[in-house]
């Protein structure tokens, strides 16, 4: 870390100690619980994730418990969080860990990419690695500073609440005095296409119908779900995979 970055990082950590978000997965080192939080947070806002994460861990408190669950139950439990392949990958990852333990290279787990692997490595196993998501990268690029692994949670919060994508709140930022981007405004990022009326919505509707034992009435959506392993078409009838544990 450069000498220039040290006071910047110190200011960030002081700010975080005072106003950092109190999120339940930050109070533990359980790699399974942290993996669940990271997978849920990939496409879902924090305030929606907290109650779902707590309910999930109440139902499957250990990686072994999740591994033993039928895939169908896992998919149903995930409903409402979106991007249902995340549930299937989390379930598959749990089975790998339950059988073989946590790998040194966490990207060997199904659905775990470099960012999620770095987050679990840092927050659960205490490894000296900085997980870089969109918020962290934004702060790095705007400040031009280098940050160590200990600053990860602070960077998440700064990027999510202060150093916003289009109109950053520089007047509230603990790094503003040394930030070369202070006062700048940015073009709006390309927004994701609306969910309403999209093929993603059709898939979600079809999956809910199948989970409820109803005919989905959307062959294209069913075919897409089947390709992702979220449903199995047996004798022409789509059903959730694994109605019973292996």
Residue 215's pLDDT is 92
- Look at residue 245 in the predicted model and tell me its pLDDT: 40
pLDDT of residue 243: 55
Q: What is the pLDDT of residue 13?
A: 97
For the question of residue 177 being annotated catalytic, the response is no
Q: Give every residue of the chain whose pLDDT is below 50, as ranges.
A: 1-3, 244-246
Chain center to CA of 182: 29
Structural domains present in the chain = 1-21+127-186 (1.10.1670.10), 30-123 (1.10.340.30), 199-239 (no CATH)
Q: What is the pLDDT of residue 105?
A: 98
Cβ-count burial of 105 within 10 angstroms (0-12 exposed, 13-18 middle, 19+ buried)?
exposed
Selected catalytic residue, list 38, 54, 73, 242: 38
The gap between the terminal CA atoms of the chain, to the nearest Å, is 49
Interval 154-171: pLDDT, tens = 999 999 999 999 999 999
């Amino acid at each position: 870390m450069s000498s220039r970055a040290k006071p910047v990082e110190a200011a960030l950590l002081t700010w975080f100690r005072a106003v950092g978000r109190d999120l339940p997965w930050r109070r533990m080192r359980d790699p399974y619980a942290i993996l669940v939080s990271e997978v849920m947070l990939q496409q879902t806002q924090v305030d929606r994730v907290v109650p779902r994460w707590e309910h999930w861990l109440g139902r499957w408190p250990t990686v072994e418990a999740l591994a033993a669950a039928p895939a169908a139950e896992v998919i149903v439990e995930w409903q409402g969080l979106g991007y249902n392949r995340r549930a299937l990958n989390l379930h598959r990852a749990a089975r790998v860990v339950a059988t073989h333990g946590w790998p040194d290279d966490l990207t060997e787990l199904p659905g775990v990419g470099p960012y999620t692997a770095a987050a679990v490595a840092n927050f659960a196993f205490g490894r000296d690695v900085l997980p870089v998501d969109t918020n962290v990268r934004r702060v790095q690029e705007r400040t031009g500073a280098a940050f160590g692994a200990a600053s990860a949670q602070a960077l998440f919060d700064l990027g999510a609440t202060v150093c916003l994508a289009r109109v950053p709140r520089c007047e509230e930022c603990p790094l503003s005095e040394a930030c070369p981007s202070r006062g700048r405004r940015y073009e709006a990022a390309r927004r994701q296409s609306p969910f309403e009326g999209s093929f993603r919505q059709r898939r979600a509707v079809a999956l809910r119908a199948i989970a409820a034992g109803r005919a989905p009435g959307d062959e294209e959506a069913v075919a897409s779900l089947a390709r992702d392993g979220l449903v199995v078409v047996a004798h022409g009838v789509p059903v959730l995979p694994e109605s019973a544990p292996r």
